[in-house]
Amino acid sequence: MKYNFAYLDEDTKKEIRRKVLKAIAIPGHQIPFASRVMPLAKGFGTGALQITLSLLKKEDVVKVIDQGRDDSLNPLNIKRLIKKTAPGVELTEDTARATIIQTRHRIPEEKLRKHQILVLQCPFPEPLRWVEKSEAKTRKMHAEMDYSKAYLYIYEQLLRYGEILIGTRYPVMVNNRYLMDSTPIPRWDIPKLNYADCVFLFGAGREKRIYAVPPYTKVEPLEFEDHKFRTEDMSNKRCALCGSENVYLDEIIRDNGEKYYVCSDSNFCEKIRKGIKVERWENVIRS
Amino acid sequence: MLLEVNGISKIYGDPECNHEFKGNRCIKCGGILALDNISFDLDFGETLGIVGESGSGKSTLLRILYMDIEPDKGEEKLNGINLFSLDSKRKRDIRVKHMGMVYQSPKEGLHYNMSVSANVAEKLIDNGWRNFEKLKNTSIELLKKVRISENRIKDYPYTFSIGMQQRVQIAKAIATNPDLLLLDEPTASLDVTVQAEILDLIKQIQREMDIAIILVSHDLRVIKLLAERVIVLKNGRIVEAGLTDQILEDPQHEYTQKLVSSIL
Amino acid sequence: MLEVKSLSKSFFLHLLNKKIDVLKDVNFKVSKGEFLAILGKSGSGKSTIVKCLYGTYKPSSGKIIYNNIDIAKAKEREILQTRKSIGYVSQHFIINPKVKVIEAAVEPILKQKNSYDRAYRLLRMFNLKEELYDVYISTLSGGEKQRINIIRAIIKEPQLLILDEPTTYLDIISKKILKECLRELKENGTTIVGIFHEFEMLDELADKMLILKNGCVTYSGKYDKELSRNLM
């Protein structure tokens, strides 16, 4: 079967590119798009994949990660699809060399530059869904900047646990205008969104929404006066493989009960071990 | 005068139709006249009862006053401000600061996926509060006021009985010390002993807070206990209005007499 | 201070399609500090007059002039306003049974200073024991409830006190206390209009009397012991 370059037909790519431009023009605002049927089950990154494929040129270098790793099942399948339908496009694990990075979860530890595009797989685009089930009402709330109810999400956390333990879906204000759901990004990576050099694109295939954070855009997490935003606590921990501190670590528990930590970003860890210099994000640490 | 309501009408039907009503139905488009030319006023600290059978338009009226739905005609003035002509944001502001609503079923007024403390805090957050400790402590006080103990503030609404859920609604409604409290059949879904508790609570709030109350009920005994004045609605129209004891002991209109005789 | 002119009241019972005339052309006057007794057989319209005075019933025709306001034609708000200076003891117990005794007693003047002191004073005066103060109204006997009714009316220090058969459930001692209380109120200028079937309460207390028969006034004038017992 002969596919068009990068699987999608040109008209689809045109539509998605237009929607991406619209999303960049209105930072944080959810743009509806007609999500196509993809050879992936919904919930496995169909939205982000459509964005990646629509933007792909022969000269691009693509990296796909899941939980920071390049070699888990999800990225491998996606890379296989790209290899088959977009011949000539280089696939890489090197963050610095990639021009498009599709990620299911994390923003890489290595700082992304002006020409790089980060495409995120987003399951839940609507930050207010938890408080308001009706789509019609949430749209109205966005239109009127009626965002006070988003604080309830954080309130519940603080009430129950005394601190914020949510991993993802932390509500953020983009460009002082739109409330955005930061899924799938963990708290640790949220500060990276603020005034970044690169562009972030969020694709939700099941929910049929695209939204974006353009470069040099203000992104502020919601917080109470007396309980400011805090990332996960990675102090006093280091990677068992490369020895790095102040990185997002995965916790591994051995059969004998021993706990140790490993860098979540596999490419970063590898570079450190090889002695390669890696530029880090500036505004990262806030825990 | 706290609240002035003039000529409120609500029709569920074809907006293009030039309605001709026979009874409550439009003979041209089949539309229903839910409310017809309702006018009344309410002073600070007064309690007004609105009574009528189901389908008389009571809940519709209350939702219009709370600005949940829009009327087809009429105006509502709160503290002299004409509410229906305001933009969405101003309406929300006024609602949060000056009004409180208790729905007939707690499912309508509460979020079941968060703690009762969060439910009460919602109104305060809408009012601009951004300090967690203050929000939490105030929610504890408010829940205590409706006799829900501090060790239950984290619990979800469905873990409480319906009577207690109603109390949570009440705590939320009075959270911002509003001038006006709207109650839509607050005891209808409760059994008799629990009804008494809720009515007691409302009476206590009346005494302590000097708040004006509009109370909708089909049960005249509830009205008798709480409201000084009463409006009787039938098929969307006011058929009689007066002091509660006047209406109960000396009902003039045939429909009111029927209502009154049915409580004996 | 209270003048009733040509007061008539009829009821139309829609369900039976019948009209009944309960009061026909009643006239009387009461001056400040006077005690008017309303007497008559049951069904003669006594309670109806008193309810018209309080604004519970709207008269079919006539005037009720109290402090320069015609209650018969007054709007609801005006009636609520005038009620602030009127104490009303009804025949029935209309207090919320789930309220405590002390709360019920203090409620009419809750927002005033010294409200609780005045309440305690009256509770003691009417011989209600301290153990009862924190008890719910529903647990009281008929006589005790009636005394609370009376206290709630008096605690307001009203200009006009209206009583509708206040002695029905009272024992002899309580009746004596009530009579003393009414005397004191009279001396302090309170106008009293009362329906009593026990003449002992009225002797040496009532100034005027009004006797009703089938809704019509058959006697209106000075209170006279003999006359009252004979005409009844």
Tell me: the pLDDT tens digits for A227-283?
A: 888 888 887 888 888 888 888 888 888 888 888 899 999 999 999 999 988 888 876
pLDDT at position A285: 46
CA distance B178 to chain A (A): 19
Chain B positions in Cβ-Cβ contact with residue C98 (cut-off 8 Å): 196, 200
Residues of B in contact with A131 (CB under 8 A): 111
- In C, minimum Cα distance to B255 occurs at C14
User: CA geometry: angle at B216 spanning B214 and B220, to 5°?
Assistant: 115
Q: State residue A284's pLDDT score.
A: 52
C70 touching B, CB under 8 A?
no
User: C80–B243: do the CB atoms touch at under 8 Å?
Assistant: yes
Whether residue B154 and residue A160 make contact (CB cut-off 8 A), yes or no, is: yes
Q: Do B122 and A146 touch (CB under 8 A)?
A: no
Chain A neighbors of B132, CB-CB under 8 A: 155, 158, 224-227
A33 band by pLDDT with thresholds 50, 70 and 90: very high
Q: Where are the domains of chain C?
A: 2-85+158-231, 95-157
Q: Which residues of B8-43 are buried (b: 16+ CB within 10 A; e: fewer)?
A: bbbbebeeeeebebeebebeeeebbbbbbebebebe
pLDDT confidence of residue A286: 42
pLDDT in tens, C82-114: 998 999 998 777 777 778 888 888 888 887 888
Main-chain dihedrals φ then ψ at residue A93, nearest 5 degrees: -110, -5
B29-54 pLDDT, tens digit per residue, is 888 888 989 999 999 989 999 998 77
Nearest 5 degrees, angle CA B212-CA B86-CA B183? 30
pTM for the full predicted model: 0.84
Nearest one of C104, C105, C52 to C79, comparing CA atoms: C52
* Continuous H helices in chain B: 58-65, 88-98, 106-109, 116-126, 132-145, 162-173, 192-209, 220-226, 244-249, 254-261
Question: A147 and chain B: CB distance < 8 Å anywhere?
Answer: no
Q: Locate the domains of chain B by residue range.
A: 3-261
Residue type, B28: K
Check pLDDT > 80 for residue C232: no
Annotated catalytic residues of A are 28, 239, 242, 263, 269
Examine the pLDDT at B120 and tell me if it is beyond 90. yes
Is A156 touching B (CB cutoff 8 A)?
A: yes
- Note which residues in 210-239 of chain B have CB less than 8 A from chain C: 225, 228-229
Domain ranges for chain A, please list them.
10-126+179-217, 235-274
Of B111, B126, B131, Cβ closest to residue A224: B131
CB-based contact B130 A158, cutoff 8 Å: no
**Is A51 within 8 Å of A201 (Cβ atoms)?**
yes
For residue C156, give both structure tokens.
């307001």
**DSSP for C138-183, written as a single string:** GGS-HHHHHHHHHHHHHTT--SEEEEESTTTT--HHHHHHHHHHHH
| CATH class of the domain whose range is B3-261 | alpha beta
**All residues at 6 or more sequence positions from C67 whose CB lies less than 8 Å from its CB, including other chains:** C1, C82, C85, C159
Right CATH for C2-85+158-231 from 3.90.79.10, 3.55.40.20, 3.40.190.80, 3.40.50.300: 3.40.50.300
* Residues from chain C contacting residue B250 (CB–CB below 8 Å): 11, 51, 56-58
Token pair recorded at residue B172: 């939320």
Cβ(A74)–Cβ(A97) below 8 Å:
no
The residue whose two tokens read 């570079």 is A271
Task: Band the pLDDT of C231: cuts 50, 70, 90.
Answer: low
Question: What is the bridge-based pairing of β-strands A61-65 and A100-103?
Answer: parallel
Q: Are strands B237-243 and B229-234 parallel, antiparallel or unpaired?
A: antiparallel
CB contact under 8 A, B261 and C51: no
Mark yes or no for CB contact A159/B136 under 8 Å. yes
Q: Which of A130, A160, A227 lies closest to B132 in CB terms?
A: A227
Q: What is the spatial distance between Cα A204 and Cα C212, in angstroms, rounded to a whole number? A: 86
* Whether A104 contacts A49, CB under 8 Å: no
Q: Is there an interface between C and A (3+ Cβ pairs < 8 A)?
A: no
CATH architecture of A10-126+179-217: 3-Layer(aba) Sandwich (3.40)
Considering CB atoms only, which of A140, A149, A159 is closest to B122?
Answer: A149
| Contact check, Cβ <8 Å, B125/A156 | no
Find the CB nearest A225 among B113, B126, B130: B130
Report pLDDT for A283. Answer: 62
**C29, β-bridge pairs:** C3
Decide if B229 and C110 are in contact by the 8 Å CB cutoff.
no
The strand pairing partners of A255, in sequence order, are none
Interface of A with B in 171-230 (CB under 8 A): 224-227
How much is the pLDDT for B61? 92
Contact B260, B248 (CB under 8 A): yes
> Per-residue pLDDT for B100 more than 90?
yes
Map residue A103 onto helix, strand or coil: strand
Please report the beta strands in chain C, taking only residues with DSSP state E, as ranges in sequence order: 2-13, 18-30, 35-40, 61-66, 69-70, 86-89, 160-164, 191-195, 208-213, 216-222
The Cα B212–Cα B199 span in angstroms is 15
What CA–CA distance (Å, rounded) separates A88 from A13? 19
Tell the residue number behind the tokens 């792909």, with chain if given.
A56
Average pLDDT over residues C184-197: 90
